[in-house]
Amino acid sequence: MPEIPRNTRQRRAVTAILDDLDGFASAREIHDVLSKRGESVGLSTVYRTLQALVDAEELDALRADDGETRFRRCSTGHHHHLVCRQCGRTVEVEGPTVERWADSVAAAHGYADVSHTLEIFGTCSTCRA
Amino acid sequence: MPEIPRNTRQRRAVTAILDDLDGFASAREIHDVLSKRGESVGLSTVYRTLQALVDAEELDALRADDGETRFRRCSTGHHHHLVCRQCGRTVEVEGPTVERWADSVAAAHGYADVSHTLEIFGTCSTCRA
DNA sequence: ACCGAGAGTGAGAATCGTTCTCATGAGACG
DNA sequence: CGTCTCATGAGAACGATTCTCACTCTCGGT
Protein backbone atom coordinates (compact mmCIF):
# COMPACT_ATOMS: atom_id res chain seq x y z
CA MET A 1 0.00 0.00 0.00
CA PRO A 2 1.38 3.38 -1.02
CA GLU A 3 0.43 4.96 2.33
CA ILE A 4 -1.65 7.85 1.07
CA PRO A 5 -1.67 10.70 3.60
CA ARG A 6 -4.75 12.71 4.45
CA ASN A 7 -5.32 16.07 2.86
CA THR A 8 -5.35 18.36 5.88
CA ARG A 9 -5.14 22.13 6.14
CA GLN A 10 -1.74 21.84 7.82
CA ARG A 11 -0.26 19.59 5.18
CA ARG A 12 -1.51 21.90 2.45
CA ALA A 13 0.03 24.90 4.21
CA VAL A 14 3.44 23.26 4.55
CA THR A 15 3.59 22.03 0.97
CA ALA A 16 2.49 25.47 -0.23
CA ILE A 17 5.47 27.04 1.54
CA LEU A 18 7.80 24.50 0.00
CA ASP A 19 6.45 25.32 -3.43
CA ASP A 20 7.19 29.00 -2.91
CA LEU A 21 10.71 28.46 -1.65
CA ASP A 22 13.55 27.79 -4.04
CA GLY A 23 16.31 27.30 -1.45
CA PHE A 24 16.73 25.06 1.56
CA ALA A 25 14.72 25.96 4.67
CA SER A 26 14.74 24.56 8.18
CA ALA A 27 11.69 23.32 10.06
CA ARG A 28 11.78 26.38 12.30
CA GLU A 29 12.00 28.74 9.33
CA ILE A 30 9.00 27.11 7.72
CA HIS A 31 7.12 27.23 11.01
CA ASP A 32 7.91 30.95 11.33
CA VAL A 33 6.71 31.74 7.82
CA LEU A 34 3.48 29.87 8.52
CA SER A 35 2.97 31.89 11.69
CA LYS A 36 3.54 35.15 9.85
CA ARG A 37 0.99 34.14 7.24
CA GLY A 38 -1.50 33.47 10.00
CA GLU A 39 -1.63 29.79 9.06
CA SER A 40 -0.84 28.44 12.49
CA VAL A 41 0.62 24.96 12.37
CA GLY A 42 2.21 23.17 15.31
CA LEU A 43 5.94 22.69 15.19
CA SER A 44 5.50 18.95 15.72
CA THR A 45 3.29 18.80 12.68
CA VAL A 46 5.81 20.69 10.58
CA TYR A 47 8.48 18.16 11.53
CA ARG A 48 6.16 15.23 10.91
CA THR A 49 5.07 16.52 7.53
CA LEU A 50 8.62 17.24 6.41
CA GLN A 51 9.76 13.80 7.51
CA ALA A 52 6.89 12.17 5.65
CA LEU A 53 7.76 14.08 2.49
CA VAL A 54 11.41 13.07 2.80
CA ASP A 55 10.34 9.43 3.18
CA ALA A 56 8.17 9.83 0.09
CA GLU A 57 11.25 11.23 -1.67
CA GLU A 58 9.50 14.48 -2.46
CA LEU A 59 12.00 16.47 -0.42
CA ASP A 60 15.74 16.48 -0.01
CA ALA A 61 17.11 16.88 3.50
CA LEU A 62 20.50 18.41 4.15
CA ARG A 63 22.15 18.75 7.54
CA ALA A 64 23.94 22.08 7.77
CA ASP A 65 27.07 22.73 9.81
CA ASP A 66 25.05 24.51 12.48
CA GLY A 67 23.18 21.27 13.20
CA GLU A 68 19.90 22.28 11.61
CA THR A 69 18.40 20.08 8.95
CA ARG A 70 17.12 22.01 5.95
CA PHE A 71 14.59 20.85 3.40
CA ARG A 72 13.89 21.61 -0.24
CA ARG A 73 11.56 20.33 -2.92
CA CYS A 74 13.76 18.48 -5.37
CA SER A 75 13.66 16.49 -8.54
CA THR A 76 13.69 12.73 -8.23
CA GLY A 77 16.74 10.64 -8.92
CA HIS A 78 20.26 10.86 -7.61
CA HIS A 79 21.75 14.34 -7.67
CA HIS A 80 23.84 16.73 -5.62
CA HIS A 81 23.51 20.37 -4.64
CA LEU A 82 25.34 23.59 -5.20
CA VAL A 83 24.13 25.75 -2.33
CA CYS A 84 24.66 29.42 -1.56
CA ARG A 85 25.96 29.89 1.99
CA GLN A 86 24.16 33.21 2.37
CA CYS A 87 20.71 32.81 0.88
CA GLY A 88 20.42 29.07 0.37
CA ARG A 89 19.74 29.40 -3.35
CA THR A 90 20.38 25.99 -4.80
CA VAL A 91 21.28 24.43 -8.11
CA GLU A 92 20.91 20.70 -8.59
CA VAL A 93 23.91 19.14 -10.25
CA GLU A 94 24.84 15.71 -11.49
CA GLY A 95 28.29 14.22 -11.65
CA PRO A 96 28.40 10.83 -13.31
CA THR A 97 32.19 10.93 -13.20
CA VAL A 98 32.15 11.44 -9.46
CA GLU A 99 29.76 8.55 -8.94
CA ARG A 100 32.01 6.21 -10.85
CA TRP A 101 35.10 7.48 -9.09
CA ALA A 102 33.54 6.96 -5.65
CA ASP A 103 32.44 3.43 -6.53
CA SER A 104 35.82 2.44 -7.91
CA VAL A 105 37.73 3.88 -4.95
CA ALA A 106 35.48 1.99 -2.55
CA ALA A 107 35.80 -1.24 -4.51
CA ALA A 108 39.57 -0.88 -4.62
CA HIS A 109 39.63 -0.91 -0.82
CA GLY A 110 37.20 -3.79 -0.49
CA TYR A 111 34.16 -1.78 0.61
CA ALA A 112 30.69 -2.88 -0.56
CA ASP A 113 27.20 -1.33 -0.48
CA VAL A 114 28.73 2.00 -1.38
CA SER A 115 26.92 5.31 -0.98
CA HIS A 116 28.25 8.82 -0.76
CA THR A 117 27.40 12.37 0.16
CA LEU A 118 28.56 15.32 -1.88
CA GLU A 119 27.51 18.93 -1.53
CA ILE A 120 29.11 22.05 -2.92
CA PHE A 121 28.90 25.37 -1.10
CA GLY A 122 29.66 28.83 -2.36
CA THR A 123 28.44 32.39 -2.51
CA CYS A 124 26.07 33.08 -5.37
CA SER A 125 26.44 36.08 -7.67
CA THR A 126 23.49 37.92 -6.11
CA CYS A 127 24.83 37.64 -2.58
CA ARG A 128 28.26 38.82 -3.65
CA ALA A 129 26.90 42.27 -4.52
CA MET B 1 50.62 33.57 19.29
CA PRO B 2 49.97 29.92 18.44
CA GLU B 3 47.86 29.39 21.57
CA ILE B 4 49.86 26.61 23.17
CA PRO B 5 47.61 24.50 25.40
CA ARG B 6 48.65 23.17 28.80
CA ASN B 7 49.89 19.65 29.13
CA THR B 8 47.32 18.21 31.52
CA ARG B 9 46.55 14.63 32.47
CA GLN B 10 43.17 14.87 30.78
CA ARG B 11 44.53 16.18 27.52
CA ARG B 12 47.16 13.45 27.47
CA ALA B 13 44.49 10.81 28.12
CA VAL B 14 42.28 12.00 25.26
CA THR B 15 45.07 12.24 22.72
CA ALA B 16 46.29 8.79 23.78
CA ILE B 17 42.88 7.33 22.95
CA LEU B 18 42.89 9.05 19.60
CA ASP B 19 46.28 7.56 18.82
CA ASP B 20 44.97 4.05 19.54
CA LEU B 21 41.85 4.42 17.42
CA ASP B 22 41.96 4.08 13.67
CA GLY B 23 38.32 4.83 12.93
CA PHE B 24 36.01 7.70 13.78
CA ALA B 25 34.79 7.90 17.38
CA SER B 26 32.23 10.15 19.05
CA ALA B 27 32.84 12.22 22.17
CA ARG B 28 30.71 9.87 24.22
CA GLU B 29 32.56 6.81 22.95
CA ILE B 30 35.88 8.36 23.87
CA HIS B 31 34.51 9.34 27.25
CA ASP B 32 33.32 5.76 27.83
CA VAL B 33 36.69 4.26 26.91
CA LEU B 34 38.40 6.66 29.30
CA SER B 35 36.06 5.60 32.10
CA LYS B 36 36.73 1.94 31.43
CA ARG B 37 40.45 2.58 31.58
CA GLY B 38 39.97 4.26 34.93
CA GLU B 39 41.21 7.55 33.51
CA SER B 40 38.24 9.62 34.57
CA VAL B 41 37.82 12.73 32.44
CA GLY B 42 34.76 14.98 32.48
CA LEU B 43 32.57 14.92 29.40
CA SER B 44 32.89 18.68 29.07
CA THR B 45 36.64 18.35 28.97
CA VAL B 46 36.45 15.67 26.31
CA TYR B 47 34.35 17.97 24.14
CA ARG B 48 36.61 20.94 24.79
CA THR B 49 39.75 18.97 23.99
CA LEU B 50 38.31 17.52 20.81
CA GLN B 51 37.14 20.94 19.65
CA ALA B 52 40.57 22.41 20.34
CA LEU B 53 42.23 19.67 18.33
CA VAL B 54 39.84 20.21 15.45
CA ASP B 55 40.63 23.92 15.51
CA ALA B 56 44.32 23.07 15.47
CA GLU B 57 43.59 20.85 12.46
CA GLU B 58 44.91 17.78 14.19
CA LEU B 59 41.53 16.05 13.99
CA ASP B 60 38.88 15.63 11.36
CA ALA B 61 35.27 15.97 12.47
CA LEU B 62 32.46 14.22 10.64
CA ARG B 63 28.78 14.55 11.46
CA ALA B 64 27.07 11.19 11.09
CA ASP B 65 23.46 10.69 10.07
CA ASP B 66 22.46 9.97 13.66
CA GLY B 67 23.49 13.51 14.61
CA GLU B 68 26.63 12.56 16.48
CA THR B 69 29.91 14.17 15.51
CA ARG B 70 32.76 11.71 15.23
CA PHE B 71 36.45 12.49 15.39
CA ARG B 72 39.58 10.92 14.01
CA ARG B 73 43.27 11.75 13.88
CA CYS B 74 43.99 12.57 10.25
CA SER B 75 46.74 13.63 7.96
CA THR B 76 46.97 17.29 7.12
CA GLY B 77 45.86 18.68 3.80
CA HIS B 78 42.60 18.37 1.92
CA HIS B 79 41.28 14.82 1.68
CA HIS B 80 38.09 12.82 1.91
CA HIS B 81 37.08 9.63 3.73
CA LEU B 82 35.93 6.17 2.87
CA VAL B 83 34.22 5.03 6.06
CA CYS B 84 32.83 1.65 7.09
CA ARG B 85 29.25 1.99 8.28
CA GLN B 86 29.66 -0.84 10.79
CA CYS B 87 33.02 -0.40 12.45
CA GLY B 88 34.09 3.07 11.37
CA ARG B 89 37.32 1.86 9.80
CA THR B 90 38.46 4.65 7.54
CA VAL B 91 40.62 5.13 4.51
CA GLU B 92 41.71 8.61 3.51
CA VAL B 93 41.29 9.27 -0.18
CA GLU B 94 42.11 12.06 -2.55
CA GLY B 95 40.24 13.01 -5.69
CA PRO B 96 41.87 15.79 -7.67
CA THR B 97 39.39 15.22 -10.48
CA VAL B 98 36.48 15.73 -8.12
CA GLU B 99 37.97 18.93 -6.73
CA ARG B 100 38.31 20.38 -10.22
CA TRP B 101 34.85 19.23 -11.21
CA ALA B 102 33.27 20.86 -8.14
CA ASP B 103 35.08 24.13 -8.75
CA SER B 104 34.15 24.27 -12.42
CA VAL B 105 30.49 23.45 -11.75
CA ALA B 106 30.33 26.18 -9.14
CA ALA B 107 32.03 28.70 -11.39
CA ALA B 108 29.70 27.86 -14.24
CA HIS B 109 26.76 28.89 -12.08
CA GLY B 110 28.42 32.03 -10.79
CA TYR B 111 29.23 30.79 -7.30
CA ALA B 112 32.44 31.97 -5.60
CA ASP B 113 34.39 30.98 -2.48
CA VAL B 114 33.69 27.37 -3.27
CA SER B 115 34.06 24.54 -0.78
CA HIS B 116 32.61 21.08 -0.72
CA THR B 117 31.98 18.04 1.41
CA LEU B 118 32.42 14.51 0.13
CA GLU B 119 32.36 11.30 2.10
CA ILE B 120 32.01 7.75 0.88
CA PHE B 121 30.33 5.10 3.01
CA GLY B 122 30.37 1.35 2.61
CA THR B 123 30.79 -1.92 4.44
CA CYS B 124 34.40 -3.04 4.76
CA SER B 125 35.53 -6.56 3.93
CA THR B 126 35.95 -7.51 7.61
CA CYS B 127 32.44 -6.47 8.57
CA ARG B 128 30.93 -8.35 5.65
CA ALA B 129 32.01 -11.69 7.10
C1' DA C 1 -25.83 14.56 4.39
C1' DC C 2 -24.43 11.89 8.39
C1' DC C 3 -21.70 8.53 10.97
C1' DG C 4 -17.70 6.44 12.84
C1' DA C 5 -13.09 4.61 12.71
C1' DG C 6 -8.76 5.98 12.95
C1' DA C 7 -5.14 9.01 11.07
C1' DG C 8 -3.64 13.81 12.06
C1' DT C 9 -2.85 17.49 15.24
C1' DG C 10 -0.58 20.26 18.90
C1' DA C 11 0.97 21.75 23.54
C1' DG C 12 4.10 20.40 26.33
C1' DA C 13 7.28 16.96 28.08
C1' DA C 14 11.16 14.22 26.98
C1' DT C 15 15.52 13.14 24.61
C1' DC C 16 20.01 13.76 22.88
C1' DG C 17 24.21 15.86 21.62
C1' DT C 18 26.63 19.75 22.77
C1' DT C 19 27.87 24.10 25.15
C1' DC C 20 27.95 27.09 29.15
C1' DT C 21 28.69 28.49 34.13
C1' DC C 22 31.47 29.02 37.79
C1' DA C 23 33.73 27.40 41.87
C1' DT C 24 37.73 24.62 42.47
C1' DG C 25 42.16 22.49 40.97
C1' DA C 26 46.59 22.28 38.94
C1' DG C 27 50.38 23.60 35.03
C1' DA C 28 54.06 26.91 34.13
C1' DC C 29 57.32 30.05 35.16
C1' DG C 30 59.94 33.03 38.01
C1' DC D 1 57.61 27.76 46.85
C1' DG D 2 54.19 31.22 45.28
C1' DT D 3 51.42 33.26 42.23
C1' DC D 4 48.98 33.87 38.10
C1' DT D 5 46.01 31.82 35.01
C1' DC D 6 44.14 28.51 32.40
C1' DA D 7 41.91 23.93 32.73
C1' DT D 8 38.65 21.07 34.82
C1' DG D 9 34.08 19.05 35.91
C1' DA D 10 29.37 18.68 37.88
C1' DG D 11 25.39 20.25 36.68
C1' DA D 12 22.50 23.57 34.38
C1' DA D 13 21.26 25.36 30.00
C1' DC D 14 20.47 25.01 25.18
C1' DG D 15 18.69 23.97 20.52
C1' DA D 16 16.98 20.69 17.39
C1' DT D 17 14.12 16.95 17.13
C1' DT D 18 10.94 13.33 18.79
C1' DC D 19 7.44 11.57 21.74
C1' DT D 20 2.92 11.50 24.39
C1' DC D 21 -1.78 11.53 24.45
C1' DA D 22 -6.23 13.66 24.56
C1' DC D 23 -8.76 15.90 21.17
C1' DT D 24 -10.05 16.95 16.14
C1' DC D 25 -10.94 16.32 11.50
C1' DT D 26 -10.77 13.63 7.04
C1' DC D 27 -12.63 10.19 4.36
C1' DG D 28 -15.10 6.13 3.02
C1' DG D 29 -19.29 3.92 3.71
C1' DT D 30 -24.29 4.37 4.20
Reported confidence tier of residue B65, pLDDT bands at 50, 70, 90: confident
Average pLDDT over residues B23-36: 96
- The per-residue pLDDT for B88 is 87
- State the nucleotide closest to A69 in CA–C1' terms: D16
Report the CATH superfamily, name and number, of domain A77-129.
Ferric-uptake regulator, C-terminal dimerisarion domain (3.30.1490.190)
- The per-residue pLDDT for B103 is 97
Contact B120 A106 (CB under 8 A): yes
- Interatomic CA distance for residues B115 and A68, integer angstroms: 19
**For A24-37, how does the pLDDT look when each residue is reduced to its tens digit (9 = 90+)?**
999 999 999 999 99
Cβ of A43 near strand D (under 7 Å)? The reply is yes
Average pLDDT over residues B64-72: 93
Q: Which of B91, B102, B106 sits opposite A109 (nearest CB)?
A: B91
Please say whether the dihedral angle defined by the alpha carbons of residues B90, B115, B97 and A103, taken in this order, is positive or negative. positive
Chain A residues in contact with B111 (beta carbon < 8 A): 82, 84, 120, 122-125
- The per-residue pLDDT for A86 is 84
In chain B, domain spans: 1-75, 77-129
- The per-residue pLDDT for B8 is 97
The correct answer on CATH 1.10.357.10 for the domain covering A1-75 is no
Reported confidence tier of residue B129, pLDDT bands at 50, 70, 90: confident
Give strand C nucleotides closer than 7 A to any protein Cβ.
Answer: 7-12, 16-21, 26-28
- The per-residue pLDDT for B22 is 86
A110 CB neighbour count, 10 Å cutoff? 14
- The per-residue pLDDT for B19 is 95
Residue A2 has pLDDT above 80, yes or no: no
Average pLDDT over residues B62-76: 92
Residue in B closest to A66 by C-alpha: B63
- The per-residue pLDDT for A3 is 73
Cβ of B89 near strand D (under 7 Å)? The reply is no
Average pLDDT over residues A54-68: 93
- The per-residue pLDDT for B1 is 55
The whole-number Å distance from B92's CA to D8's C1' is: 34
CA dihedral A20, A36, A61, A127 (to 10 degrees): 70
3-state DSSP assignment of residue A75:
coil
Residue A23 has pLDDT above 70, yes or no: yes
**For A40-53, how does the pLDDT look when each residue is reduced to its tens digit (9 = 90+)?**
999 999 999 999 99
The whole-number Å distance from A94's CA to C26's C1' is: 55
B59-63 and B80-84: which strand pairing?
unpaired
- Interatomic CA distance for residues B89 and A120, integer angstroms: 25
Q: Mean pLDDT for chain B?
A: 94
- The per-residue pLDDT for A4 is 85
Chain B contact probe: residue of A118, A119, A127 with most B CBs at under 10 A: A118
**For B113-123, how does the pLDDT look when each residue is reduced to its tens digit (9 = 90+)?**
999 999 999 99
Residue B2 has pLDDT above 70, yes or no: no
- The per-residue pLDDT for A22 is 86
Contact A110 B119 (CB under 8 A): no
